[in-house]
Amino acid sequence: MFTILHLAIIAPFLAAVLVPLLYKFIPRIHTGWFVLIVPIILFSYFLSYLPDVSGTGSVMKTFEWIPSLGVNYIAYVDGLGLLFALLITGIGALVVLYSIYYLDKHKEQLNNFYTYLLLFMGAMLGLTLSDNLIVLYTFWEITSISSFLLISYWYTKEKSRYGALKSLLITVMGGFALLVGFVLIASVTGTYSIRGILDASDQLADSPLFLPAMLLILLGAFTKSAQFPFHIWLPDAMEAPTPVSAYLHSATMVKAGIYLVARMTPLFAVSAYWFWLVTGFGLLTLIWGSLSAIRQTDLKGILAYSTVSQLGMILSMLGAGAAALHYDSVDNNAYTMAVAAAIFHLINHATYKGSLFMMVGAIDHETGTRDIRRLGGLMTLMPISFTIAVIGSFSMAGLPPFNGFLSKEMFFMSMVEIAHFPQYSVDSIGILLPIVAWTASVFTFVYCMMLVFRTFTGKIQKEKLPTKPHEAPFGMLLSPLILVALVVFIGFFPNTLVPTIIEPAMASIMPELAQTGSFGVDIYFWHGFTPELFMTVGVVLLGTAIFLALQKWNKMHAVFPENRLFNQAYNRSLEGLDRSSHALMSWHMTGLVRDYFIYIFSFTVVLLLFSLFGTGAFTIDVENMVPVSPYEAVLSLVLVGSSLILMFTRSRLKAVIALGVLGYTVALFFVLFRAPDLALTQLTIETVSVTLFLLCFYHFPQIFDALKETKFHAVNFVISVTVGLTVTLIGLSASGTRLFPAISDYFLENSYKEAGGNNVVNVILVDFRGFDTLLEILVLGIASLGVYSLIKLRLAGGENK
Amino acid sequence: MSNWLILPVLIPLIAGIVALFFPKHVTAQRVWAFITSMILIGVNIFLLTYILSNGIMTLELGGWEAPFGIVFVGDSLATLLTTTTALVALPIIYFSFSTIGVEREKYYYYSFFQFLIAGVSGAFLTGDIFNLFVCFEVLLLASYALIGHGGTKTQLKESFNYVIVNVVSSAFFVIGVAYLYAVTGTLNMAQLSERVSEAGSEPIITVIAILFLIVFGLKGALFPLYFWLPGSYSVPPTAIGAIFAALLTKVGIYSIFRTYSVIFNEETAVTHTILLVLSAVTMIIGVIGAIAYRDVKLILVYNVIVAVGFILFGVASLNSDAFVGAIYYLLHDIVIKAALFLIIGALITAAGTSKLSGMGGMIKHHPLLTWMFFISALALAGIPPLGGFPGKLMLVVGGAEAGHYIVVAVMMVASLLVLYSVIRIFLQGFLGEPMLTHAEQHGSIKAQMPPIVFLVALSAFMGFGAEIMYPFVESAAETLINPRAYVEAVLGGNS
């Protein structure tokens, strides 16, 4: 049944259809105001589900889409899904509000922008609230596509199109991997329903398809969430308008991969591969992203790599949390905290990163640049933006009293804990996990400081700025202010989120553990003098030292040269693909039909001879054959002789005569085999065609002489002989294997009796198989019309039209 | 009732003949072609639904009982295809009004077109392998006439290649029929099915099966028999290219479907392995071609080849899921190829060139065309929930079921590159800096939009309405997997 819930999920799509109309007919009002209504209503609607999902609750509504293929649109709201739904609609509302001030209603194609944005919103809701994997996949691809459209929104810019293509290729590649992974899972469990699959998870674990399915799904998740080495698309995606970067490319879409990993955790977490892959790639991305962020000079570039890095961090926590599923209950199970930390950080990241993007957008909007080498000293000119930047960045750096500090501490704690995990040989190299985490956090701290201090402190360089800087309009600051307010609020009252959102989401990720009791998550600032506190102190001290050193030195890029390795790999492989495919095609697609025949005939004879002798089908059965009479022998010689002349003659006239001889000899064969009417037909045809050929040749230019120089082609000779040989050999074998009486006896018997004709051939032609003849007449008719129009109708030009 | 079965052939046949009598009255030609195509759609849809509820329909032509006379067999597969054929013929005819040129219209263009449809429909419906050959001849002759129609220089050059290759393949076809008749003594496909299964593992039948694979592979542009296709599909006017790309290779593919399920279903180890390998290589070579060129027509033409690989992969996988996938894909591919060709035709009209380097920023003046292209491009790549997806999904499911994981992987990579090849057209031709102002553009494309919108809507319906199509597709796949029903319908289960 199609319920309100389904309607809520597809509401953005419906609204997307209305947007162009609103844009066209109500141009006075910024279209964004109409659009804003959608996420606000949806946000309040999804808030009403909070009581339903508390504990381990969930709501499920099924609408049958293609039940025959097992594809049903099952809307499923549980803790994890609702968390995302609230993020999507909540951040969505703020982003739309922000965009109203960011995008000028006179200059921009608002109809396109909001259509894409709503398309994305609907797809993302559908993705996170679907129980059916195929429907999930459908929405997954729509998010990739809407992201593509939004990145290429300023479509005249070369870089936008480059970034759009890159993101599309990488995320759709992941999408296709995901599809195959889903199909493999379903082929074992027999269902596309996530609930059903989780019930059959034991079956899957024993299947040889377990590992391939897992790898494919991780490929999908990693590409979407910009994990190393697939992260390369995200920085280029920053060509999109800043509201889009804030929304898709930091707060929501890139978290679809994380959503998927979380969703699949109960299915795959039993495997050591899962633990190592998710944790390993997460940490690798974390450190790679943070290092790359330091090298950036574009504010959005810093934020892009920072997003890459933070996504890695969330994933690594989820990976570590997989360890929790090796325990039977929540008691004595410290690893559940890693999952809690992942979810908590996911929320925190959305709040501070969203505000930072919007802040950067405001700076870009008011100064005309995002280059930190040109910026500086904006503190007094843009005090509100500065406040936002400080709160957002300090939270990201993991400083108290902001929410980022809390989740960073939890992250350190879970990394320290996981180093002691007794399985998967974590004990041997597990100590690396907290070390990597800590090192990456130092770099994170450094770029957070860059973000604030390089932009807002120091000397203002007005001559380098395209426009005269001033504070952004209030409307543009409202959304980031709301977000930083949340950063502070969550920092002080983190536990308001615990029972409402975090614990239900944990229950979705660890459903079996959730049955055994409450997770007992309690988030607070002061844990005592624990390792994680010392780690934070270390981060601040070392980070400050590096930041100051770098600032003094001011040669950051010499120390950390821009690493383009993976970008180059992407560019080169695309270029190489274009080049080599073009080379391959122009090598064999010569446009000459004789070359094509060499390929076609070679393939044909090789395949046929191979099968003829390979299967043992070759037989020659002479028993049923009539002995060759002298007449026939002579006729055959004439036949062979005339075809040889036809091949080797250099004169048209001789060729036509040889052809005529060939035809008349065949007619003589018909006479010998007592088929006078066939012989007559053949004679007529031959006479007409020879005459026609002669007539035509009369009008031809004498190009035949030029052909005299043509050399003998051994390859062509071998191929043509083999073709003839193959046809003959198969013919002999076929006539030697007559397995059944032919239906021709029926024609002999009934020709006169039923059809009233003594000439069997005629009766076959006009009665038994009269339909063939009808169509053959049509063939002749078409041929003559075709020739007529070919002669009469000669349009000019050879260009493609 | 069973006489209705001849109508999908008879209507275009008579329509084409009648049109010969007033060649110079262009308006009358158009109206007549349009009306008869509408009727054809109606009849086909009627037949399709009738067969779904009443089972396979047969028509013994001239009243001569099977297997002696020629029999038409209307099962779901055949009528699904004739219906789809009629559904794409109509918009392409409409598209021709504004693009093909009055001169061509005066020289029997619509008659050739109708004869082509008659031949194609006949090939789908016939239950007699020699009659299949004859139907091929009808559609080929019509295509020869169409490809050279107008006689421009490039058309003549490519039509020469096209005609020569097809004449050779027709010769192989007749030779194959002769071999088959020598061994089995019959031409009726149902009886062939019986006799071949009675003969069991007779090796000569495998050889003949491979010969037929080559014959139909030549028509269907299977690797390595596709060389004639790129040139001959890209030189004629758009409307002709569209009907070729939509239908002609599909007849070859359909014939492989039919012969490899109804007739050659005994010794599948050799034949279906060959088919599997060829289908995979066809996908690869198709995408390589699609990426290699910067000419929008050629990009599309090579995408025709990719689809051949996809669909035959379903046949090679030989299970009902794969067949369901192959049929969905086949039907949708007819529609989407027609749509894309028409869109590209409109694009070329507007830009005045088929070279990507010479176009840009079409979105500015032609937003509708832009979005039609974008949707079609996604549908082509099998992005859900558009029409290409159900087929692709079920091909993956069926392929995985058969254990052909490597080919599934090849298919996915090919899909991605298909998307790449067409998105490049989107990025460069439709997005980007507009190269021409509205005034500079080479003609209006307004009259070309209705058929495009119709075809894209049809494609979308095939995705969203996959459930509505499912009973038909399922029943078509059922006859392929279990040809018993087909044989019984034709021979009455007693011979």
B344-365 pLDDT, tens digit per residue, is: 999 998 888 889 988 888 898 8
A747 touches chain B (CB under 8 A): yes
- The three-state secondary structure class of B341 is helix
- Secondary structure of B352-367 as H, E, C letters: CCCEHHHCCCHHHHCH
Is residue A754 one of the residues assigned to a domain? yes
Rg of chain A taking only CA atoms, in angstroms = 38
Query: CA A32, CA A185: separation in Å to the nearest integer?
Result: 42
Check A69 against B474: CB less than 8 A apart: no
Phi, psi of A525 (to 5 degrees): -70, -50
Residue A737 CA to residue B205 CA, distance in Å, equals 10
A155 touches chain B (CB under 8 A): yes
Inside any domain, residue A785: yes
Buried/exposed B203-232: b ≥16 CB within 10 Å, e otherwise: bbbbbbbbbbbbbbbbbbbbbbbbbbbbbb
**Helix A272-295, helix A299-321: angle, nearest 10:** 160
Q: Does position A220 have pLDDT exceeding 60, yes or no?
A: yes
DSSP for A373-393? Answer: TT----TTTSHHHHHHHHHHH
pLDDT confidence bin for A628, thresholds 50/70/90? confident
In a domain, B350, yes or no: yes
Residue A46 lies in a domain: no
pLDDT tier, A62 (very low <50, low <70, confident <90, very high otherwise): confident
Q: Where are the alpha helices (DSSP H) in B353-448?
A: 362-365, 367-380, 388-401, 405-425
Mutate to test the interface with B, among A112, A152, A155, A597 (most CBs of B within 10 A): A155
Residues of chain A with Cβ-Cβ distance to B289 below 8 Å are 581, 585, 589
Contacts of B70 in chain A (CB under 8 A): 769, 771-772
Is residue B452 one of the residues assigned to a domain? yes
Please say whether the beta carbons of B58 and B2 come within 8 A: yes
Q: What is the DSSP string of B172-231?
A: HHHHHHHHHHHHHS--BHHHHHHHHHHH-S-HHHHHHHHHHHHHHHHHHT-TTS-THHHH
From chain B, pick out residues whose CB is under 8 angstroms from the CB of A801: 237-238, 348
Closest chain A residue by Cα to residue B474? A68
Total domains, chain A = 1
Residues in B touching A591 (Cβ below 8 Å): 161, 231
Q: Residue B470: in which H helix or E strand, if any? A: helix B466-481
Beta bridge partners of A60: A76
Asked whether residue A593 carries a pLDDT value surpassing 80, the answer given is yes
Contact A775 B274 (CB under 8 A): no
Residue of B106, B140, B183, B204 to mutate for A, most A C-beta atoms under 10 A: B204
Rounded-to-integer distance, Cα A52 and Cα A49, Å: 5
Domain membership flag for residue B364: yes
- What would the pLDDT profile of A254-264 be if each residue is shown by its tens digit? 999 999 999 99
User: What's the Cα-to-Cα distance from B85 to each of A48, B33, B122, rounded to whole Å?
Assistant: 51, 15, 11
- Report the distance separating Cα A335 and Cα A322, nearest Å: 8
Contact B233, B304 (CB under 8 A): yes
- The residues, ordered by sequence, that sit 6+ positions from B442 with a Cβ below 8 Å of its Cβ are B349, B350, B351, B352
Instruction: Please state the domain count of chain B.
Output: 1
B/e letters for A28-41, b = 16+ CB within 10 Å, e = fewer, are: eebbbebbbebbbe
| Paired tokens of A135 | 């429907």
What CA–CA distance (Å, rounded) separates A511 from A504? 10
pLDDT for B452 equals: 96
Q: What is the pLDDT of residue A134?
A: 93
Tell me which residue range forms the domain holding A756.
Answer: 743-801
- Whether residue A777 lies inside any domain: the answer is yes
**For residue B494, what pLDDT is reported?**
46
Place of tokens 């493609």: A800
Across the interface, whether the CB atoms of A581 and B291 are under 8 A apart is answered yes
Average pLDDT over residues A168-180: 95
- CB B288 to CB A177 under 8 A? no
**Is B379 a member of any domain?**
yes
Q: What is the pLDDT of residues B250-281, one digit of tens each?
A: 999 999 999 998 898 877 788 889 999 999 99
**Do strands B57-60 and B71-74 pair parallel, antiparallel, or not at all (unpaired)?**
antiparallel
Question: Which residue type does B23 have?
Answer: P
Contact list in A for residue B134 (CB cut-off 8 A) is 772, 775-776, 779
- Flag if B203 and A616 touch (Cβ within 8 Å): yes
CB B145 to CB A789 under 8 A? yes
Considering CB atoms only, which of A179, A186, A801 is closest to B237? A801
pTM (two decimals) = 0.93
pLDDT at position A799 is 44
Q: Which of A182, A208, A431, A426 is nearest to A326 (CA)?
A: A426
What are the tokens at A454?
A: 């390089």
Q: How far apart are CA B341 and CA B335, in angstroms?
A: 10
- Nearest neighbour of B183 by CB, restricted to A137, A737, A792: A737
Say yes or no to pLDDT of B448 above 80. Answer: yes
Q: Quick one: pLDDT band at residue A491, thresholds 50, 70, 90?
A: very high
Question: Which among B144, B161, B378 has the least Cβ separation from residue A593?
Answer: B161
A760: in domain: yes
Cis peptide before A20 (omega within 30 of 0): no
Q: What number of residues does chain A have? A: 801
> Is A738 within 8 Å of B238 when comparing Cβ atoms?
no
Amino acid at residue number A93: A
pLDDT tens, position by position, A259-301: 999 999 999 988 889 999 999 999 999 999 998 898 888 999 9
Judging contacts by C-beta atoms under 8 Å, the chain B residues touching residue A69 are 324, 390, 393-394, 466, 470
Buried b (16+ CB within 10 A) or exposed e, A132-162: bbbbbbbbbbbbbbbbbbbbbbebebeebbb
Q: Which residue of A has its CA nearest to B214?
A: A604
Instruction: Determine whether the interchain pair A742/B181 forms a contact, defined as Cβ–Cβ distance below 8 Å.
Output: yes
In this complex, do A738 and B424 lie within 8 Å of one another by their Cβ atoms?
Answer: no
Residue B435: which domain range?
Answer: 268-464
Q: Considering CB atoms only, which of B122, B363, B420 is closest to A155? A: B363
Residues of A in contact with B427 (CB under 8 A): 152, 161, 164-165
Q: Is residue B135 part of a domain?
A: no
User: A737 and B202 in contact by Cβ < 8 A?
Assistant: yes
- For chain A positions 574-603, those within 8 Å of chain B (CB to CB) are 577-578, 581-582, 584-586, 588-589, 591, 593, 595-597, 599-600, 603
Interface touch B383/A746, C-beta < 8 Å: no
Residue A761 within a domain: yes
Q: How far A134 CA lies from chain B's nearest CA (Å)?
A: 9
pLDDT tens for each residue of B214-237: 999 999 999 888 888 988 888 899
Which residues on chain A are in Cβ contact (under 8 Å) with B198? 740
- A272 CB-side CA count, 13 A: 6
SS3 state at A73: strand
* Contact: B231, A591; criterion CB under 8 Å: yes
Contact yes or no for B431 and A156 at CB 8 A: yes
Q: Which of A180, A597, A739 sits opposite B396 (nearest CB)?
A: A180
> Is residue A708 over pLDDT 70?
no
What is the arithmetic mean of pLDDT over B124-146?
A: 95
Residue B206 has its nearest CB partner, among A604, A611, A796, at A611
